[in-house]
A and B are shown apart, each in its own frame.
Chain A
Amino acid sequence: MQIDLRTVAIKPLRNTFDHLVERFGDKPASRYQEGSYNIQQEHIFHYRPSWDADRVLFDKKRTKIQMKDWYALKDPRQFYYGAYTITRARQQEAAESSFDMIEERGLAELIPNEQKQIALDILLPLRHVEWGGNMGNAYISAYGYGTVMTQACLYHAMDHLGVAQYLTRIGLVLDGPDALDKAKDDWMSGALWQPMRRHVENLLVLDDWFEIFVAQNLVLEGLSYPLFYDHLDSEFSANGGTAISMMTRFMGEWAGETAKWIDAQIKVAAAESPENKALLSDWVKQYRAVTLDALTPLAKCALGDKAAGVLEDVLTEFNARCAKLGLAV
Chain B
Amino acid sequence: MSTVFIAFQTNEDTRPIVESILADNPHASLEEQPAMVKINAEDKLVIRRESIEERIGRRFDLQELQVNLITISGHLDEDDDTFTLAWAN
Contacts and interface: CB of A to CB of B under 8 A. Distances in A.
18 contacts: A7-B33, A7-B34, A8-B34, A9-B32, A9-B33, A9-B34, A28-B15, A30-B12, A30-B15, A30-B16, A31-B12, A75-B57, A76-B57, A77-B57, A77-B58, A78-B56, A78-B57, A78-B58
Interface range on chain B (Cβ under 8 Å from partner):
under 10
A255 B58 CA distance: 15
A28 B56 CA distance: 15
Given A8-B34, A75-B57, 16 more contacts: A7-B33, A7-B34, A9-B32, A9-B33, A9-B34, A28-B15, A30-B12, A30-B15, A30-B16, A31-B12, A76-B57, A77-B57, A77-B58, A78-B56, A78-B57, A78-B58
A99 B12 CA distance: 35
Interface of B: 12, 15-16, 32-34, 56-58
Contacts, number: 18
Contacts of A31: 12
Interface of A: 7-9, 28, 30-31, 75-78
A7 B58 CA distance: 36
B14 to A, nearest CB: 11
A151 to B, nearest CB: 14
B60 to A, nearest CB: 13
A37 to B, nearest CB: 14
A48 to B, nearest CB: 37
Contacts of B12: 30-31
Contacts of A76: 57
B44 to A, nearest CB: 26
A26 to B, nearest CB: 14
Nearest to A79: B57
A76 B33 CA distance: 31
Contacts of B58: 77-78
Contacts of B34: 7-9
